[in-house]
Amino acid sequence: PHAAPDGTVWVGTFGAGLCQLKDGRAAFCTTANGLSDDSVLAVCNDSERTIWAGTLAGALHRFANGTVTTYARRSGLPGTPITALLPAREGGLWIGTANGVLLRSDSRFERTTTVMLTSRLEGKAILGLYETPERTLWMGSAGGGLGCLDAGGCLSWDTQQGLPDDLVLGVV
């Protein structure tokens, strides 16, 4: 779950859509009112008070000013489940997918760039994202261990480099 600046808590569910908890009440956004899929695997909010939700169907939904905008393959997404979202420190959004694709979008989602990762992370679901103040991006993956992306490129660590497991669910 992610809390918006106004105290609203947004929760992605598996099968019940996106849940908005506010003032003790729950409201749901589902396929009946705009979502591409009722399984929301990733949720985040950015500095502009926009809520982003990634779905099992591979679509990304932007909730801002009472409207929902959907981004999918036509917008440059690969069409695979979106498993991690993180607002980028320089604006825009980091997007991790179930097949190991890491994308970077600009703040208006007019341009999306695919980021090259190490072979250890290729094809592995990106499950957690964290960006340091120095703009180093850390990634947790399902089976590929831990990844690190900075201006010098991408590095990764797995059990061969001392991690206890190649499944990294979150990074802070």
The Cα–Cα gap between 35 and 125 comes to: 22
What is the per-residue pLDDT across 94-148, written as a single tens digit (0 to 9) for each? 999 999 888 988 877 778 888 888 888 999 999 999 999 999 999 999 999 999 9
The Cα–Cα gap between 16 and 29 comes to: 8
Q: What is the arithmetic mean of pLDDT over 35-49?
A: 93
pLDDT more than 70, % of the chain: 97
pLDDT score, position 2:
63
What is the per-residue pLDDT across 138-157, written as a single tens digit (0 to 9) for each? 999 999 999 999 988 899 99
Question: Is 28 within 8 Å of 19 (Cβ atoms)?
Answer: yes
- For residue 71, give every residue at least 6 positions away whose Cβ sits within 8 Å of its Cβ, in sequence order, or none: 59, 60, 61, 62, 77, 109
What average pLDDT does the structure give for the chain?
A: 91
For residue 168, pLDDT beyond 90 = yes
